[in-house]
Structure 1
Amino acid sequence: MPSTFLKALSPFVRIMPEVKQPDRDVSFREKFVWTAIVLIIFLIMSHMPLFGVDKDVGTDYLWAMRVILASTRGTLMELGIGPIVTAGLVMQLLQGSKIINVDFGDPEDRALFTGGQKVIAMFMTAFQAIAYIVGNAYGPLGPDAALIVFAQLFISGIVIILMDELVQKGWGLGSGVSLFIMTNVAGQVLYNSLNFIELEQFAPIGYMGSTPGNITPTNLPKGIIAAIIGNILRTFGIGTATGDPVDATWLIVRNGYDPSILSLVITFIIFSAVIWMESVRVEIPLQYARFRGMKARYPIKLLYTSNIPVILAQALYANILFFGQIIWGTFNADGNNPFLSWIGIFRRDEETGRMIAESGLARYITPPQGIFSILSEGDGWLHIIIYSALMILLCWGFSKIWVDISGIAPRDVSRQLLNSGYIVPGFRRSEKVLERLLERYIPVVAGLGGFLIGILAAAADVMGALASGTGILLMVSIIKQYYEQIAKEQLAGMGGEGVAGLLGIL
């Protein structure tokens, strides 16, 4: 029976707009077209400014998490995927702590759980939109302007929820959340690599007579690849009107903040590490019961829960930072409340409009902006230790919980394998026997994978990359997932009873 909490959400579930499950096999080409349409709409929304606001006025509350949340300041994608991911986080915590009881083997319970998550995402969209307006994210707004801004943010949030549902329910490839994150991070990587519009305003001492008190900027592009190309051209006398060639060693680190060769190398290291971790797996031998000669393997990947733990951990960080800023500005601007000060004390950077956490929990969960930035802080090492420890612990915990609620626990996999006609050679055709076999591997691999992905995410953020370190990690793992998804779709096109059954559970 559904819990009281889910029953309370059921009236809202019934009136929520819904994307119907496809009642036929959707071809790969059609899935590709729908995915492309969703992506185009997302990109349009990411560049369409909110009517009635000036993005250069007010406070940027989500600056540290925009890449992860697929959010763009001052546009219809202001809230990004934050409400969706937060709703998933809330439902995970409620189910994992047994506050709500859900039988995921019961289709009614599973459908109500999924629908309830969508309802909470809608509520979170409305709540965050109101918090943005009340927190003067766009400066003081009159009643009419506030209503218009709220309507834009709320409707945009509903559109994002429905686009994610459209992709997830089988009309597209992968999931909408993953698609949006990948696109946003990839755009940031390309921008930091090829940005030739903004010019570097720093230079090494001695460059064209530069002294500590009188710097002559290199005027090289800020994008690292564009800067390397520009410097090579200057060596051959092209483009020297804006400055002389700079010593190549300067580009290794630059000023410690602009994209550099070091951040490019770190990006490739993260890329390689994720690809390697995605390839490590334990394989369970399978045999098709009806055709004894047909064999297969069920892979239990090291990253069994993929990038979900990182997304949920970052969502938790983002919500603490967001609401911490709102609470501080509304109730504790003078810093006299010790409990609220424990959450965080902030200062506003007038030049960028960002709220910078100076103390409290918010200070230590703010993602590091690279090793040189964090070591320039007085408590940089403490920041690294606390941020990394919390990230690793959260990723491990979310990985363990996700296995139980997402249909990939041993009991679910054993049922799916048997229903698909597969058995493990040497074992009886019994769900309990197969479940005990899988319990030797899945919980251990899921916990270890969550632990390792937490270490990699923390290291990536601390060292710095061409975008958020965690963002790079997510982008690479999502690209790998799409590659595997496309391969599965092409294999499914080959047909065959056993192939179709196995692909349904991989």
Structure 2
Amino acid sequence: MSLKDSLEPIFNKLPAVASPEGHVHFKNKLMWTLGILVLYFALANVPLFGLSSDSIDLFESYRAFFAGASGSLMLLGIGPIVTASIVLQLLVGADVIKLDMSDPSDQAFFQGAQKFMVFVMIILEALPQIAGGYIQPDQALASTLGISIGAITFIIFIQICIGGLLVLFMDEVVSKWGIGSGVGLFIVAGVSQQIVTGLFNWATDSSGLPTGLFPKWIYIVQNVGADYLFSGDGITFMLVRGGILALISTVMIFLFVVYVESTRIEIPLAHSAVRGARGKFPVKLIYASVLPMILVRALQANIQMIGLLLSSKGITFLGEFSGSKPINGLMYYLAPIHSPYDWIPSLVRETFTSYGAPVPAIWQIVLHVFVDATFLIVGGIIFALFWIETTGMGAKPTAQKIFNSGMQIPGFRRNIGSIEKVMIRYIPKVTVIGGAFIGLLTLIASLLGTLGSTSGTGLLLAVSIVYRLYEDIASEQMMEMHPMIRSFFGQE
């Protein structure tokens, strides 16, 4: 008996959200999606019982694309789902696990394996944070309740695991009963909240300036002289600290992503049985969407977590940390770029001086940017290729869908092989170009910074996901009006 045959019965018994037996009406899908969104926001505001205020969030810098909220039931966010996807895609891509993703049984096995891996990752991401002392129990509460610190720690661990499971099943509900994916929905929710906070928050930062853009401008107008604002230092101050660069970057990313999402190659189709019935199959420039960027950043986040946990135990050969920020060694170069404070020399000097750490040399900063660029561009290509193969978007599954819908490519014989040959001309090449392009765009966005400190990656993901969600809604409405179109998408 093969490993697949041994594990398949176990995967089949894993708890799952039931799939709808028939077509789900568009209004019901919309209600399920909105309901899960409200539930997500509610759970993100439920604090972990027994958690000390001295706790440190290891993924604070990655909240824009890990979703969730520090100190809440949503502490892990989508981290376990994304990490499980990374591990499986690498194993399948390297042929360690041999699966044919065009085979429905292999697809079902992959999905079962991914769910099982999520369960494992929930534990593996929660335990190190507790064992490393980053998630700390409230000693005062323990003494008040008359129980041990270990009991409070165990209660916190159980809550974190429950939160991770809730995220997994909420994602399933959206995928099966709603519109789009839960992972994308949670990212958009988190980024949107950060942007609103970045515009209107009156709380002050360490420099005494309000965090929100509009309160910050009001404060500057009232307290800073015009002669300084129009000087060289004043212009730099307004661009970086005043948030003008972040505002420009945010608007540019929004417009550019919408433009790029609409860029596509359209392959003509004709119906084999209905004369005159024609259509087009669009191959977008960002064919694999921007979700592979989550996998790249998640890989970096997990590498950083390993370095941070080792550093907390006094093992510093990979680098030392100040809080959750790497300040030297290999971890410094592997850390993602989040804002101008990570690469503009004067701002880097200011940041590291506040940490009381040696300031990196210019060549070290340049190498840091180069390593992050390599991660994003090369990683974007690799994960984009893995993504289309594991989600049924490759040339062969796409050709099968077109053939099953009764469509064919004009000028070619009506068989799967002919359609697949045409798809092979476009899909792999566009996927590589799109993966590299979205990696480059993510790098530029990260270098410039964004409103609300969402990070360039987070904003890029949010804009692209919202655009795709808009297309999904339009598609759902079209299928409601024209039920025959559902057959092309393999829906009942």
How far does the alpha carbon of each residue in 1:381-412 deviate from its partner, in whole angstroms, 9 at most, with x for none? 22111111121110011111222221111111
Q: Which residue of 2 aligns with 1:430?
A: 415
How far does the alpha carbon of each residue in 1:161-214 deviate from its partner, in whole angstroms, 9 at most, with x for none? 011111112x01100000001111111111111112x23675xxxxxxxxxxxx
In structure 1, list runs of 5 or more residues that go unmatched: 203-216, 235-242, 336-340, 349-353
Asked if 2 retains the 8 angstrom alpha-carbon contact of 1:10 and 1:112, the reply is yes
Do the aligned partners of residues 396 and 334 (structure 1) sit closer, same or farther apart at CA in structure 2, a change above 3 Å counting?
A: closer
Q: Which residue of 2 aligns with 1:214?
A: none
Measured in 1, the distance between the counterparts of 2:56 and 2:292 equals 29
Do the aligned partners of residues 251 and 265 (structure 1) sit closer, same or farther apart at CA in structure 2, a change above 3 Å counting?
A: farther
Which 10-residue stretch deviates more, 134-143 or 70-79? 134-143
Q: Does 1:468 align with 2:455?
A: yes
Q: Which residue of 1 aligns with 2:332?
A: 363
Asked if 1 retains the 8 angstrom alpha-carbon contact of 2:266 and 2:283, the reply is yes
Displacement after TM superposition at 1:76 (Å): 0.8
Displacement after TM superposition at 1:14 (Å): 3.2
Q: Does 1:451 align with 2:436?
A: yes
Q: How does 1:35-74 map to 2 (within 5 A)?
A: 35-54=33-52, 56-74=53-71
* 1:105 aligned partner, one-letter code: S
SS at the partner of 1:191? helix
SS at the partner of 1:192? helix
In structure 2, list runs of 5 or more residues that go unmatched: 139-148, 349-359
C-alpha RMSD over aligned residues = 2.2
TM-score of the two chains, using structure 1 as the length reference: 0.86
Identify the match of residue 134 of structure 2 among 113, 124, 137.
Answer: 137
Identify the match of residue 161 of structure 2 among 154, 163, 175.
Answer: 154
How far does the alpha carbon of each residue in 1:268-307 deviate from its partner, in whole angstroms, 9 at most, with x for none? 1111221121111110001122211111100000000001
Do the aligned partners of residues 115 and 399 (structure 1) sit closer, same or farther apart at CA in structure 2, a change above 3 Å counting?
A: same
Q: Does 1:27 align with 2:16?
A: no
Displacement after TM superposition at 1:500 (Å): 2.6
Q: Does 1:383 align with 2:368?
A: yes
Identify the match of residue 81 of structure 1 among 78, 81, 85.
Answer: 78
Q: Which residue of 1 aligns with 2:8?
A: 10
Q: Which residue of 2 aligns with 1:240?
A: none
Q: Which residue of 2 aligns with 1:227?
A: 216
Displacement after TM superposition at 1:139 (Å): 3.0
Do the aligned partners of residues 410 and 114 (structure 1) sit closer, same or farther apart at CA in structure 2, a change above 3 Å counting?
A: same
Do the aligned partners of residues 256 and 98 (structure 1) sit closer, same or farther apart at CA in structure 2, a change above 3 Å counting?
A: same
Q: How does 1:36-435 map to 2 (within 5 A)?
A: 36-54=34-52, 56-139=53-136, 142-169=149-176, 171-196=177-202, 198-199=203-204, 221-228=210-217, 234=222, 243=223, 253-254=236-237, 258=241, 260-330=243-313, 333=314, 335=316, 341=317, 344-348=318-322, 354-376=323-345, 377=348, 378=360, 379-435=364-420
Which 10-residue stretch deviates more, 471-480 or 272-281? 272-281
Measured in 2, the distance between the counterparts of 1:245 and 1:434 equals 67
Asked if 2 retains the 8 angstrom alpha-carbon contact of 1:347 and 1:358, the reply is yes
Measured in 2, the distance between the counterparts of 1:276 and 1:179 equals 21
* 1:374 aligned partner, one-letter code: W
SS at the partner of 2:300? helix
Q: Which residue of 2 aligns with 1:493?
A: 480
How far does the alpha carbon of each residue in 1:64-97 deviate from its partner, in whole angstroms, 9 at most, with x for none? 2122100321111111100000011111001000
Measured in 1, the distance between the counterparts of 2:442 and 2:390 equals 23
Do the aligned partners of residues 274 and 179 (structure 1) sit closer, same or farther apart at CA in structure 2, a change above 3 Å counting?
A: same
Do the aligned partners of residues 40 and 116 (structure 1) sit closer, same or farther apart at CA in structure 2, a change above 3 Å counting?
A: same
Displacement after TM superposition at 1:430 (Å): 0.9
Indicate the percent of aligned positions where both proteins have the same amino acid.
34
Asked if 2 retains the 8 angstrom alpha-carbon contact of 1:223 and 1:259, the reply is no
SS at the partner of 1:286? strand
Asked if 2 retains the 8 angstrom alpha-carbon contact of 1:58 and 1:138, the reply is yes
Do the aligned partners of residues 173 and 229 (structure 1) sit closer, same or farther apart at CA in structure 2, a change above 3 Å counting?
A: farther
Measured in 1, the distance between the counterparts of 2:72 and 2:238 equals 31
Identify the match of residue 479 of structure 1 among 466, 476, 483.
Answer: 466
Asked if 2 retains the 8 angstrom alpha-carbon contact of 1:194 and 1:226, the reply is yes
Displacement after TM superposition at 1:362 (Å): 2.1
Do the aligned partners of residues 259 and 146 (structure 1) sit closer, same or farther apart at CA in structure 2, a change above 3 Å counting?
A: farther
Asked if 2 retains the 8 angstrom alpha-carbon contact of 1:304 and 1:445, the reply is yes
How far does the alpha carbon of each residue in 1:39-85 deviate from its partner, in whole angstroms, 9 at most, with x for none? 1111111111100012x313331122122100321111111100000
Asked if 2 retains the 8 angstrom alpha-carbon contact of 1:64 and 1:366, the reply is no
How far does the alpha carbon of each residue in 1:102-144 deviate from its partner, in whole angstroms, 9 at most, with x for none? 1223322211210110110011001211111101112367220
Measured in 1, the distance between the counterparts of 2:63 and 2:447 equals 17
